[in-house]
């Protein structure tokens, strides 16, 4: 049985209003990519410019989802700049980022704390 979820958007007061964390889990593929894209775009429209995607519980990601992440970078650029960071520990998901070259455009962190620390020093 396939699983997928996106948790509520997390805005941390200490991190600033431009930082949003989206927690995603399960299998992220063509079927659920539109939901992921909608949530990311909603965060950007709400003013988030530094997005952290916590993929710690993601077990699979396909090319459609990779396309959503690439489109997110474009949207951030169009809206005046920003950054997209990913928290990921699953070896196969990290490997997909490396194979596609997305790891050269998006910083991958081993923990949410590391991603938040980097976002705090960037802003």
Q: Please state, in angstroms and rounded to a whole number, the distance separating the CA atoms of residues 17 and 104.
A: 26
Q: pTM value?
A: 0.89
pLDDT score of 15: 58
The answer to the question of residue 74 being in a domain is yes
Percent of the chain that is helix, strand, coil (3-state, to 5): 45, 30, 25
Q: What is the mean pLDDT of the segment spanning 53-65?
A: 95
Q: Using CA atoms in the order 65, 106, 89, 55, what is the torsion angle rounded to 10 degrees?
A: -40
Cβ atoms 24, 16 nearer than 8 A: no
CATH number for the domain that contains residue 57: 3.30.750.24
The answer to the question of residue 114 being in a domain is yes
The answer to the question of residue 5 being in a domain is no
pLDDT score of 4: 80
Q: Please state, in angstroms and rounded to a whole number, the distance separating the CA atoms of residues 48 and 83.
A: 9
Say how many CA atoms lie within 13 Å of 41 toward its Cβ.
12
Residue 63 pLDDT level (bands cut at 50, 70, 90): very high
The answer to the question of residue 99 being in a domain is yes
The answer to the question of residue 44 being in a domain is yes
Residue 9 pLDDT level (bands cut at 50, 70, 90): low
The answer to the question of residue 4 being in a domain is no
| 122 vs 115: which has the higher pLDDT | 115
**The total number of structural domains that make up the chain:** 1
Q: Which domain holds residue 92?
A: 10-118
Q: What is the pLDDT of residues 10-32, one digit of tens each?
A: 655 555 668 889 999 999 999 99
């Amino acid at each position: 049985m396939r699983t997928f979820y996106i948790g509520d958007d997390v805005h941390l007061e200490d991190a600033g209003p431009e930082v949003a964390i989206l927690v995603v889990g399960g299998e992220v593929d063509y079927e659920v990519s539109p939901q992921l894209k909608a949530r990311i775009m909603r965060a950007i429209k709400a003013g988030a410019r530094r997005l952290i995607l916590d993929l710690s519980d993601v077990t699979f990601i396909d090319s459609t989802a990779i396309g959503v992440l690439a489109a997110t970078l474009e949207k951030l650029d169009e809206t005046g700049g920003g950054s997209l960071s990913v928290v990921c520990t699953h070896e196969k998901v990290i490997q997909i980022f490396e194979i596609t070259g997305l790891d050269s455009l998006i910083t991958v962190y081993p923990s949410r704390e590391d991603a938040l620390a980097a976002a705090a020093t960037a802003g």
